[in-house]
């Protein structure tokens, strides 16, 4: 006996874990949903940032936290000639960013701020078993979309028999907010990539990519079970991931005469003033010395430079600089 049920209506119903678990498998072994019907494709306009392309969420503005800078921590500042602009004793000048390590979206004086990201080269792999299904999580440092996609490609190559290779990452935007991505790779929409992404953003991480490979174990987990399993798989990997703190300071160029340069460099490197500046580079030029530094307090540094150089020193503020510690 068959019941006259509108299948389109059933597909549109929100699947909740409180209903009877009537999920079945299709010919390929994929879960179809708790009403034994194929899940409908993503619809345009369902939610901001969701594309109508299977279960993949393309780059979108972040929905949690704030954007992070794109800058490498080891960027160096070096110029071959002195700044031709007018000499202004102990006054803070502005210089346009001219190096990738200075993000155009940050301007003006900045106090120190901190963020988290995986340590350079960090990569961990862990496994979670839920009702005989294996969830293998790989989480790694990724500084670009190419690196994140390479991680996903490697996971597929290493586990070609797995039915799902779900991904999520938080990457630096180009002069703007972070790029967030998640993909369910055939799992019911919102049950894999999104909970993985939530774990990454919830940990406050940037420059990070995650892949979870699932081997189906024969027992259906339901939508709620899948959300927990994919989220927990990433969460377990994060507990083993080595991280670094990222201090966002302000890059500055300090210039002075040859006579004042030696003492100024010494004070910036190891004297009391060292708490106000991280020396990035030193260039002895024909008409003086230029010392590039990163500072958490530009105003205090400018005052100290004036004191150390009897008012002849000049500090030029350049832009943000990231330092991994």
Task: Encode pLDDT of 174-201 as tens digits.
Answer: 777 889 999 999 999 999 999 999 999 9
**139 lies in the same domain as 218:** yes
Pick the last residue of a domain from 241, 271, 289: 241
**270 lies in the same domain as 129:** no
**277 lies in the same domain as 235:** no
- Joined together, the tokens standing for residue 300 give 């205090």
Q: Where does the pLDDT of residue 46 fall: very low under 50, low under 70, confident under 90, or very high at 90 and above?
A: very low
- pLDDT the model gives residue 175: 72
Pick the last residue of a domain from 210, 241, 272: 241
Which region among 91-105, 165-179, 218-232, 257-271 has the lowest average model confidence (pLDDT)? 91-105
Which region among 79-93, 130-144, 204-218 has the lowest average model confidence (pLDDT)? 79-93
Is 50 part of any domain? no
**124 lies in the same domain as 236:** yes
- pLDDT the model gives residue 114: 64
**234 lies in the same domain as 124:** yes
- Into how many domains does the chain fold? 2
Report the C-alpha gap between 161 and 179 in whole angstroms. 30
**164 lies in the same domain as 195:** yes
Residue 220 pLDDT > 80: yes
- Could you tell me what percentage of the chain is helix, strand and coil, using 3-state DSSP and rounding each to the nearest 5? 25, 30, 50
Residue 68 pLDDT > 80: no
Is 226 part of any domain? yes
Residue from 209, 182, 206 nearest 49 by CA: 182
- pLDDT the model gives residue 176: 73
H-assigned helices in 181-243:
193-202, 222-238
Which region among 166-170, 173-177, 243-247 has the lowest average model confidence (pLDDT)? 173-177
| Span 85-130, pLDDT tens digits | 333 344 455 443 333 222 222 223 333 456 899 999 999 999 999 9
CATH code, domain carrying 260: 3.30.70.240
Pick the last residue of a domain from 189, 214, 241: 241
**171 lies in the same domain as 309:** no
Report the C-alpha gap between 323 and 74 in whole angstroms. 7
Report the C-alpha gap between 141 and 124 in whole angstroms. 10
Is 65 part of any domain? no
**230 lies in the same domain as 142:** yes
Q: Which domain holds residue 252?
A: 92-115+245-324
Q: Environment class of residue 75 by beta-carbon count within 10 Å: exposed (0-12), middle (13-18) or buried (19+)? A: middle
CATH code, domain carrying 213: 3.30.230.30
H-assigned helices in 13-48:
none
> Looking up tokens 């160096």, which residue turns up?
76
Is 133 part of any domain? yes
**177 lies in the same domain as 201:** yes
**269 lies in the same domain as 189:** no
| Span 13-28, pLDDT tens digits | 444 333 333 333 443 3
Is 41 part of any domain? no
**125 lies in the same domain as 199:** yes
Beta bridge pairs of residue 316: 93, 253
Which region among 57-66, 125-134, 262-271, 299-308 has the lowest average model confidence (pLDDT)? 57-66
Is 53 part of any domain? no
Is 229 part of any domain? yes
Is 35 part of any domain? no
Across 152-181, average pLDDT: 93
For residue 126, how far is the Cα from the chain centroid? 21
**170 lies in the same domain as 253:** no
């Amino acid at each position: 006996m068959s019941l006259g049920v509108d299948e389109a209506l059933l597909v549109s119903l929100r699947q909740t874990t409180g209903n009877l678990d009537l999920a079945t498998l299709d010919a390929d072994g994929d879960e179809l949903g708790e009403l034994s019907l194929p899940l409908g494709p993503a619809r345009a306009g369902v939610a901001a940032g969701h594309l109508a392309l299977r279960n993949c969420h393309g780059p979108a503005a972040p929905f949690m936290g704030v954007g992070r800078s794109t800058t490498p921590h080891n960027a160096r500042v070096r110029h071959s000639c002195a700044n031709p602009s007018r000499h202004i004793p102990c006054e803070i000048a502005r210089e346009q960013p001219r190096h990738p390590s200075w993000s155009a979206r940050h301007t003006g004086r900045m106090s120190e701020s901190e963020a988290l990201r995986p340590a350079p080269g960090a990569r961990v792999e862990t496994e979670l078993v839920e009702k005989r299904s294996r969830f293998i999580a790989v989480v790694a440092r990724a500084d670009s979309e190419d690196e994140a996609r390479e991680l996903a490609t490697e996971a597929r190559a290493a586990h070609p028999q797995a039915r799902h290779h779900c991904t999520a990452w938080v990457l630096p935007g180009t002069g703007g907010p972070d790029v967030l991505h998640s993909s369910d790779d055939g799992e019911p929409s919102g049950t894999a990539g999104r909970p993985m992404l939530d774990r990454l953003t919830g940990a406050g991480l940037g420059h990070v990519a995650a892949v979870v490979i699932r081997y189906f174990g024969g027992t259906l987990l339901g939508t709620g079970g899948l959300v927990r399993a994919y989220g927990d798989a990433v969460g377990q990997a994060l507990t083993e991931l080595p991280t670094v703190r990222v201090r966002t300071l302000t890059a500055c160029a300090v210039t002075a005469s040859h006579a004042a340069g030696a003492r100024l460099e010494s004070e910036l490197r190891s004297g009391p003033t060292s708490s106000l500046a991280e020396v990035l580079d030193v260039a002895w030029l024909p008409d003086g010395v230029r010392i590039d530094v990163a500072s958490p307090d530009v105003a205090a540094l400018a005052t100290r430079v004036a004191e150390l150089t009897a008012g002849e020193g000049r500090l030029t503020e350049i832009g943000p600089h990231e330092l991994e510690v």
